[in-house]
Amino acid sequence: MYNNIDPVYKQIEEIILKNIETGVWPVHSKIPDEIALAEEFQVSRGTLRKALKEARQQGLLTQIRGKGTFVVSQQIEHPIGSSLISFSESMKQQGLSFKTVVLKKEVIIPDLKISALLELAPGEAVNYIERVRLSDQVPVIYLKNYMPVKYFDGLIDEDLENIPLFDCMENKYNQKIQWGRRFFRAVPALGDIVQNLGVEVASPIMQLEQIIYDKHSTPLECSTVWINSDRFDIVSILQR
């Protein structure tokens, strides 16, 4: 499995890089734990830790204490806020009226990226929910959510136009949300984004990617959200 020229930990680092480049480990996904990786690579945990340390120093991985090790985006990541609330909760807190329209809800077999983000085996099913949120009859947010069927069987039958998704996850299915990661970037509006947000083609749109975990750091949901920045600001409250 390994050559006799390069140190084994260096060869493992190359495997890690290949896994990231080929999408086996997508950006923002949590990689397997040390025990599983040591078994997969057939090395001692000491050798594996050296390879993981090198990968972190190269900016390929990041370790979050008590949560695990994650693949790092090559974009600069900047945390915004520390309170994990949904957009509907945020709008309610501001006293804004809004309407949610479900465009599609179905059980699907996701692509490999979604499977990896949710730590599912290939072929495991997810609930796919596609929605638009309107304020004063104007589309402000377009959302695509993915949640494992094994945790949320029957979710697509719920009234998701009137029941907030987080509320349904926690109260109906007793899956308590503990923490999450959100990643923001500006993208040009294309295709269904233009259609569902009613914006100009190629106009700048804020895109948010989110992964939600329970207290055991098991992924419960991942989503991509597009925000009409003409109508919705992202604000961070900072303290020093």
126-174 pLDDT, tens per residue?
A: 999 999 998 878 888 999 999 999 999 999 999 999 999 999 999 999 9
- Give the Cα separation of 188 and 203 in Å (integer): 5
Residue 39's CATH number:
1.10.10.10
Residue 136's CATH number:
3.40.1410.10
Last residue of a domain, one of 53, 71, 89: 71
The verdict on residue 1 lying in a domain is no
**Can you give the residue range of the structural domain that contains 60?**
8-71
Residues 158 and 219 placed together within one structural domain of the fold: yes
Model pLDDT, residue 233: 67
Q: Is the pLDDT of residue 88 over 80?
A: no
Cα dihedral across residues 193, 159, 163, 100: positive or negative:
positive
- Give the Cα separation of 235 and 80 in Å (integer): 8
Model pLDDT, residue 80: 58
Encode pLDDT of 184-223 as tens digits: 899 999 999 999 999 899 999 999 999 999 999 999 999 9
**Residues forming beta bridges with residue 129, ordered by sequence position:** 105, 145
Which tokens is 233 given?
């600001």
The verdict on residue 119 lying in a domain is yes
Residues 201 and 140 placed together within one structural domain of the fold: yes
Report the domain count for the chain: 2
Model pLDDT, residue 64: 85
Which tokens is 60 given?
């390929």
Q: What percent of the chain has pLDDT over 70?
A: 86
Residues 100 and 198 placed together within one structural domain of the fold: yes
Model pLDDT, residue 5: 86
Residues 47 and 84 placed together within one structural domain of the fold: no
Residues 41 and 88 placed together within one structural domain of the fold: no
Q: How far is CA 45 from CA 34, 42, 69, 119, 157, in A?
A: 7, 9, 15, 22, 45
- Give the Cα separation of 166 and 54 in Å (integer): 38
Residues 171 and 133 placed together within one structural domain of the fold: yes
Residues 30 and 143 placed together within one structural domain of the fold: no
Model pLDDT, residue 87: 63
Residues 36 and 81 placed together within one structural domain of the fold: no
At residue 76 the predicted structure's pLDDT band, cuts being 50, 70 and 90, is very low
pTM: 0.77
- Give the Cα separation of 112 and 101 in Å (integer): 28
Burial level of 199, CB count in 10 A (0-12/13-18/19+)?
buried
Model pLDDT, residue 57: 87
Residues 65 and 127 placed together within one structural domain of the fold: no
